[in-house]
Amino acid sequence: MPTRYATVTKSKLLDAAETLYAEHGQEGVTLRQITQVAGVNLAAVNYHFRSKEALIQAMSARLLDPLCFERLDILNCLEGLHPGQLRPLHVIASVVIPMIVRQASAGQETHYSMMLRRLSSDPSPVVRDYISRRYASVSERFDAALQMCVPGPVSEEVRWRARTLINAVPSTVGNLNTGIMIGAALAEPGMTMRTLLVRFGKLWHAVIGVDCNETELVRETDQMLRAVVSAGLLPPGSLAQLGG
């Protein structure tokens, strides 16, 4: 069992790697910089991670695992409530609700949003290939959900459009445009979780070519938010913070 000291040291290394990575990317960070910021020696990196690449990958997983688990929890909840009747709104909401909550909790430009943008645009195989492998099952899960909520066979063109919009596949991170869209929307006076989800729902319907009745979409959004809150999948106070 790791000692408390070892756990603290590992956390310091991950924190330092995250801070430097957000500013410089994987290629722009050195082990010397990481150990200096963490206040530990190089042997600690070798002991806990063996290499800079493994440390950066562990840092990525620490950030993205909770995001992906929350997305899957919301999707599973909504599929359970609507067996065989999943709607496009349910899929997009499962992807963006965790991002909305995170960005709303700390303002428009946060360390978290900076990290997501860096991870989603990092060309380094160390990051990109690792994320693709680690979250392949999440990608497949959202592919299957997309198949369920679109009438008839899903063409490659429709699937490509959906992936381009939210980047749910292959990286499951949330692309630069999605983060910017959420940040800009949250900065609008009077923006609510409900209004933002309706906006994403309309965009999602348009992208995948499914007709959208706005009145019905608002009703579905209200039902969905109540279900997600009842299931304990939204942090206490998050709806109040965003006006419901």
Class of domain 1-50: mainly alpha
The phi and psi torsions of 126 (rounded to 5 degrees) equal: -55, -40
Cα gap 120→102, rounded to integer Å: 16
For the chain, the first-to-last Cα distance in angstroms comes to 44
- How does pLDDT run across 55-75, given as a tens digit for each residue? 999 999 999 999 899 999 999
Tell which wins on pLDDT, 170 or 227.
227
240 has pLDDT over 70: no
Q: Where exactly are the structural domains of the chain?
A: 1-50, 63-241
Confidence at residue 163, expressed as pLDDT on a 0 to 100 scale: 65
**Both tokens of residue 63?**
């950030």
* SS3 call for 181: helix
Please name the residue ranges forming H helices in 25-150.
31-38, 42-48, 52-81, 88-106, 111-121, 125-134, 136-149
pTM (predicted TM-score):
0.85
Q: What is the mean pLDDT of residues 12-24?
A: 94
Structure tokens at 59: 């840092």
**The token pair that represents 131 in the structure block:** 């994320």
pLDDT digits (tens, 9 = 90+) for 94-135: 988 988 888 776 554 567 777 887 888 888 899 989 998 998
Higher-pLDDT residue of 208 and 85 is 85
